[in-house]
Amino acid sequence: MRAPLSWLRQYADLPQDLTGRQLADALVRAGLEVETVERTGPELAGPVVVGRVLSAVDEPQRNGKTIKWCLVDVGPDHPPTVPVQTGQFGQTNGAPLGRGIVCGAPNVAPGQLVVVALPGAELAGGFKIAARKTYGHLSDGMICAADELGLGGDHSGILVLPPTDDAGRPLVPGQPAGPLLGTPDEVLDIAVTPDLGYCLSLRGLAREAAQAYGVAFHDPAARTTPAPRSDGWPVRLETAACPLFVALTVEGLDPTRTSPGWLTRRLQAVGLRPLGLAIDVTNYVMMEIGQPIHGYDGDRLTGAIVVRQARPGESLTTLDGQTRRLDPLDLVIADDTGAIGLAGVMGGQTTELGPDTVKVVIEAAYFDPVAVARTAKAHKLPSEASRRFERQVDPGAAYAAAHRVAELLVQLGGGRLSGRQTVAGGVPQPAPVTIAGDLPGRVLGHPTPPRRVESILTASGCAVTAAGDELTVRPPTWRPDLRDPYDLVEEVGRKIGFGEVRPALPRARAGRGRTPAQQARQRLNWALPAAGFVEVVSFPFVSAQSLDQLLIAADDDRRRLVGLANPLADTAPYLRTTLLPGLFAAVARNRSRGLDDLALYEQGAVFLGPAGPAPVPPVDRRPSADQLAAIDAALPRQPRHLACVVTGDWSGPGWSSPALAAGWTQAVGFAQLAARTVGLELARRADQRPPWHPGRCARLLAGESVVGWAGELHPTVVSAFGLPEGAAAAELDLDALIAALPGPGQLPGLSSFPVVKQDVALMVDAAVPQGEVVQALRQGGGDLLESLALFDVYSGPPVPPGQKSLAFALRFRAPDRTLTEDEAAQARDAAVQVAAERCGAVQRVA
Amino acid sequence: MPAPQPPPALDAAAVDRLVAQAEAAFQAAATTAELRGAKSDHAGDQAPLSLANRAMRQVPPELRAAVGARLGAARAAVERAWSERDQVLAAAELAQRLAAERVDVTLPVSLAPVGAPHPVTALMDQLGDVFVAMGWEIAEGPEVEAEWMNFDALNLGPHHPARATSDTLFVAPPKNHLVLRTHTSPVQIRSLLTRPLPVYVVCPGTTYRADEFDATHVPVFHQIEGLAVDRGITLGHLKGTLDHLAQTMFGPVVTRLRPSYFPFTEPSAEVDLECFVCHGDSVGQPDRPCRTCASEGWIEWGGCGVVNPRVLKACGVDPDEYSGFAFGMGVERTLMFRNAAADMRDMVEGDVRFSRALIGGAR
């Protein structure tokens, strides 16, 4: 909402020296978001004069634009720089000599009075005008739009002047235009929150400004709505969505009258384009009072005006020329011919005000905000009117607004206001609110005696009566937002200023810190980067094809997709069931930027269907346990996963070591590090699971539960996602991993007796996993086997073909004595024995 | 009868000579290895001075004390001469070795590739720490959420514009009333439904809007919200908490509340942060503009307010007994002004240079 300071001053006795910036600060404190403060008013120097367009010839251009080559009379004192050849403008032979000017605006037309900047002039922003060649002509000046003159934001066409100045003197081509364009002003642009609909008017903003400065407010809508009467145009209200409809009739309008300069300037200042006197007047009053007004051509109305729901199958051609199928939920204005307008949204073509209108029926009504919002949205017709009805207009001002329109039409259009008027329905009154007098003070944490509460609310327009500790507050008709005690608390807080409230720290209940799971995730974000992994965050949206590319089978859990009804992109309409596609996309993006050696990880939710219907319980009380359980049962499972992908070189090539290619060992190492960071040791089993290489995939176990997979990616997947060869990945169910965490763990007593080291080399079938041999050795070695480590894997002579040799360093130690070599050798042999039984291991003797 | 004489090898001149010879040999040694040889020659078992010692037996008893003292002094002198020379040579050799062992400490080294947490995660953790330190707890909840939790319970009625498909991503089919949460506020609702009162929680997490994807908008982003519900909670407590958060994160600054409108709070406010770079000094000073606050002195940070009693009622909390405050900020937005991030898209494209830019995470 744009608000010129000069217009606000008309209703609020603001200090004379007040600047727009100061007022903006005061309004911001009161809760109005002032986005900009603009200086406006003509900014001109040099010859800027009134011109009359003599002719305007369309000249289509190769770039698809059509320019107009215009001949403009700028009076005898401003002869053209270059004489315009007679005949250059077909029909102008014998016409007074003018200037040739190229104009791009679609609305320029012969006969208009316009503002012409002549060569040598300087416009807003230091824009200098010179005669210049353009579109094959010498353009000898410029026809100006409002914004080029510093008059607000309208650049949709050139500024068309009224035929007379404010004093009624006819304009003459060549006279200086500056004095016709108003005086310097400041315009505040305010983003009005949805609860303060009344501030979508100069009246509402002036009231806030007056209250902020404690000065008098002069209400432009101070006219009491009379009791219902129906001697004017007949009106029937057939729906509760329209409780009030005022109809006044102005007759005998002179259709040749145009809007005066002061009116068009104000409209331009608030960002509206002048469109003719009758429409300009209704727009002006909407801006002034906030009540959208619709005008009907009284000679084109047939029978009574009826407000009702649309009928099934009914249609309407709106002012924009579109024929719309109506929905029975649409609120319409109708006459005997059927629907003639979408109530509060847009009028219809058949009763539109036209250049020959002499009789105007003025509608000022109150429409249900939800109905108007629904219709405006359904028909994609947001308008200045619907925006106001959606935020609730002041029903108490409808009658005054209708009168204001009538007055202006009489004064400016030469019409007569008919003494017969219709007031159908009445002004809905906001319900009174009872509030404890000390509630605002208690909620704000600021000493606010009930007396102060009373005086603030009274200044805001409420009628307040005190009874004991309680205040009964009847909000004014323009404040439908004041419904609850807390609404009144906010009103009081706004008017005191939140800045006055003293900050204080509440004393929280004693907290337990982060949960073990939260701590584990926090540690991961230290440990994984320290080990060389870079965290990325990706969008969780995927396509079903990406699962095909991952070779995921139809019966795999990861096919339990949850879809979106309105995805951001139709190419990715599902939520991810694995983090890998997002990581692969990040790899591709990095590689496209020349970054090939990557170790990326992501922590985030995956979404596993099915999702079911969730109930929507009422909100006036806590939902039942059953309702809450039904809500949770409707949600898809959303475990948090942790995944990585590695590509290119893990390290180097460096000055001290050769390059080490990233591969399955880093992916498994990532999973292992993650598990250890959480507090677990993982076991691994060879497994086959897409998207991993069937011979290079490890299932990861925490105790008995499967927590993820790691390994090299399947070559088909690698090529489908454009990954570098050998790319490897891991994905863990982080929630499952953390859930597998045992209790706090035990710290053993430490033996200080010496260690005995024994090495063994075991030959096993090449297919036997090392992990199984280790398990066997551990079991056979018993309690004396403190630790073991693999230090060599060898195949080739003398190891028989199809076999491999695994060499382990075993460390034995007893808790209570020095172990003899014999005891250690026995324990070693026992270990080897179990390995032989379980894995077919044969000890190699050196 | 002539006075008794020591054997010739033990007379004073002979001993002095041996000492002088030893000293000369030590001086002549150029390395500690040579010095070790010289020591063995002049102080070893077969050295003349050691052999001379064995001749003590031939010394007449009355002279033994004097000769013994002479020999002792001589051996001490040799030992001292050796030790002095050894220190000199050892020091020289150490110096030489150290000089020879110099490395270029500016060569690239690494235990592991350069890893990094994502700045958004790191900042979210840091914001959470401020509240954990005050005794608040961190609450989490699902990202696919029931409409009731995301909207209805928060006093966004069925016709609220935020529920339009132009703003909110709905799970198919829409009649299931499931959405991708548009804020972390449903976690506040869940906290009120499940935790014993009083409740002091912060809710960090991923949120979704059907928004543009450009330099300043991203449809998947992160928020941190806070909720305190207790007896006697006031707007002043909200201000105090936000000031504390601001000061912990940005140094000595304060916050400003501008009245605003949100359905779930009443009164509602936008919270502005006093510019932590210029502290307002750039306002109206075109010669020294501030990039962080665009020379406005304040930075829009988030939304906040006193919890609307309707929200408390929907969670079964008696608004006559309890009151609360809530606030919420965008983590990406905070990162933009705090760490001068230029483009929101960089935060979700996974370019490793973005995460690595803040070594060790957001500071």
The residues in A 336-395 lying below 8 A from B, measured between CB atoms, are 370, 373-374, 377
Q: Which of A16, A95, A14 is nearest to A55 (CA)?
A: A95
Q: How far is the C-alpha of A55 from the C-alpha of A50, rounded, in Å?
A: 15
Does residue A483 sit at the B interface (CB-CB below 8 Å)?
Answer: no
CB contact under 8 A, A514 and B138: yes
CB contact under 8 A, B176 and A611: yes
- Give the per-residue pLDDT at A182: 78
The residues in A 59-98 lying below 8 A from B, measured between CB atoms, are none
> Exposed e or buried b for every residue in A785-822, given b needs 16+ CB within 10 A?
beebeeeeeeeeeebeeebbbbebebbbbbeeeebeee
Do B129 and B278 lie in a common domain? yes
Element (H, E) at A287: helix A277-289
Q: Which of A438, A534, A641 best probes binding to B when mutated, by most B CB atoms within 10 angstroms? A: A534
CB contact under 8 A, B239 and A526: no
Picking from A485, A590, A599, the nearest residue to B113 by CB comes out as: A599
- Give the per-residue pLDDT at B4: 66
Contacts of B232 in chain A (CB under 8 A): 442
- Which of B68, B100, B132 is the endpoint of a domain? B100
Do B29 and B130 lie in a common domain? no
The residues in A 538-557 lying below 8 A from B, measured between CB atoms, are 538-540
Residue B60 lies in a domain: yes
For residue A538, the chain B residue with the least C-alpha distance is B348
Statement: A433-498 belongs to CATH 3.30.56.10: yes
Residue B59 lies in a domain: yes
Residue by residue, DSSP assigns A301-325 as --S-EEEEEPPTT-EEEBTTS-EEE
Q: Count of domains in chain B?
A: 2
pTM for this predicted structure: 0.83
CB contact under 8 A, A607 and B144: yes
Statement: A229-425 belongs to CATH 3.50.40.10: yes
Q: How far is the C-alpha of A336 from the C-alpha of A323, rounded, in Å?
A: 19
Q: Which domain holds residue B36?
A: 8-100
Residue B348 lies in a domain: yes
CATH architecture for residues A516-739: 2-Layer Sandwich (3.30)
- Give the per-residue pLDDT at A346: 93
Contacts of A529 in chain B (CB under 8 A): 115-117, 360-361
CATH architecture for residues A2-41+185-213: 2-Layer Sandwich (3.30)
- Give the per-residue pLDDT at A92: 46
Q: How far is the C-alpha of B117 from the C-alpha of B120, rounded, in Å?
A: 8
Q: Which of A566, A579, A602, A738 best probes binding to B when mutated, by most B CB atoms within 10 angstroms? A: A566
Do B306 and B189 lie in a common domain? yes
Does residue A111 sit at the B interface (CB-CB below 8 Å)?
Answer: no
Do B168 and B47 lie in a common domain? no
- Which of B100, B134, B152 is the endpoint of a domain? B100
Does residue A568 sit at the B interface (CB-CB below 8 Å)?
Answer: yes
Beta carbons within 8 Å of A174's beta carbon, 6+ residues apart: A49, A50, A51, A74, A75, A76, A77, A78
Do B173 and B254 lie in a common domain? yes
Contacts of B352 in chain A (CB under 8 A): 534, 536, 590, 595, 598, 600
Each residue's pLDDT tens digit, A661-703: 999 999 999 999 999 999 999 999 999 999 999 999 999 999 9
Q: How far is the C-alpha of A640 from the C-alpha of A735, rounded, in Å?
A: 6
- Which of B100, B132, B163 is the endpoint of a domain? B100
Domains of chain A: which residue ranges?
Answer: 2-41+185-213, 48-181, 229-425, 433-498, 516-739, 756-843
For residue A662, the chain B residue with the least C-alpha distance is B113
**What residues are paired with A758 via a beta bridge?**
A810
Pick the CATH number of A48-181 from 2.40.50.140, 3.40.50.300, 3.90.1300.10, 1.10.10.10: 2.40.50.140
Please give the DSSP secondary-structure letter assigned to residue B219. S
- Give the per-residue pLDDT at A60: 87
Residue B106 lies in a domain: no
Domains A2-41+185-213 and A229-425 share a fold: no
* Ranges of chain A whose pLDDT falls below 70: 82-97, 152-156, 846
CATH number at residue B244: 3.30.930.10
Residue-wise pLDDT tens for chain B (363 aa)? 566 676 666 788 888 888 899 999 999 999 999 999 999 988 888 888 888 777 778 888 888 888 888 888 888 999 999 999 999 999 999 999 999 998 888 887 778 888 999 999 999 999 999 999 999 999 999 999 999 999 999 999 998 888 988 899 999 999 999 999 999 999 999 999 999 999 999 999 999 999 888 888 899 999 999 999 999 999 999 999 999 999 999 999 989 999 999 999 999 999 999 999 999 888 888 888 998 888 888 999 999 999 999 999 999 999 999 999 999 999 999 998 898 888 889 998 899 999 998 876 655
Do B160 and B79 lie in a common domain? no
Would you state the structure tokens that stand for residue B133, as one six-digit string? 């330190």
Residue B212 lies in a domain: yes
Min Cα distance B52 → chain A (Å) is 50
Helix ranges (H only) for chain B are 12-28, 32-43, 48-54, 61-100, 119-132, 147-150, 185-194, 235-250, 309-314, 331-338, 352-357
Min Cα distance B141 → chain A (Å) is 10
Q: How far is the C-alpha of A109 from the C-alpha of A112, rounded, in Å?
A: 6
For residue B208, the chain A residue with the least C-alpha distance is A539
Q: How far is the C-alpha of A671 from the C-alpha of A470, rounded, in Å?
A: 65
Would you state the structure tokens that stand for residue A590, as one six-digit string? 């990095």
Give the CATH H-level superfamily of domain A756-843: Ferrodoxin-fold anticodon-binding domain (3.30.70.380)
CB contact under 8 A, B114 and A532: yes
Residue B2 lies in a domain: no
- Give the per-residue pLDDT at A91: 46
Decide: residue B7, CB within 10 A, 0-12 exposed, 13-18 middle, 19+ buried: middle
- Give the per-residue pLDDT at A90: 46
Q: Which of A22, A208, A392, A443 best probes binding to B when mutated, by most B CB atoms within 10 angstroms? A: A443
Q: What percent helix, strand, coil does chain B show, rounded to 5?
A: 45, 20, 35
Angle formed at CA A159 by CA A155 and CA A164, multiple of 5 degrees = 160
Q: Are A574 and A559 in contact (CB under 8 A)?
A: no
Beta carbons within 8 Å of A632's beta carbon, 6+ residues apart: none
- Give the per-residue pLDDT at B362: 59
Q: How far is CA B64 from the centre of its chain?
A: 74
Do B278 and B337 lie in a common domain? yes
Does residue A772 sit at the B interface (CB-CB below 8 Å)?
Answer: no
For residue B173, the chain A residue with the least C-alpha distance is A565
**What residues are paired with A324 via a beta bridge?**
A316
Do B315 and B271 lie in a common domain? yes
Contacts of B130 in chain A (CB under 8 A): none
* A–B interface: beta-carbon pairs under 8 A: 308
Q: How far is the C-alpha of A515 from the C-alpha of A509, rounded, in Å?
A: 16
For residue A502, the chain B residue with the least C-alpha distance is B236
- Give the per-residue pLDDT at A95: 47
For residue A518, the chain B residue with the least C-alpha distance is B138
For residue A694, whether the previous peptide bond is cis, meaning omega lies within 30 degrees of 0, is no
Q: How far is the C-alpha of A630 from the C-alpha of B176, rounded, in Å?
A: 12
For residue A525, the chain B residue with the least C-alpha distance is B117
Residue B173 lies in a domain: yes
Residue B105 lies in a domain: no
Does residue A486 sit at the B interface (CB-CB below 8 Å)?
Answer: yes
CB contact under 8 A, A505 and B145: no
Do B48 and B161 lie in a common domain? no
- Give the per-residue pLDDT at B212: 83
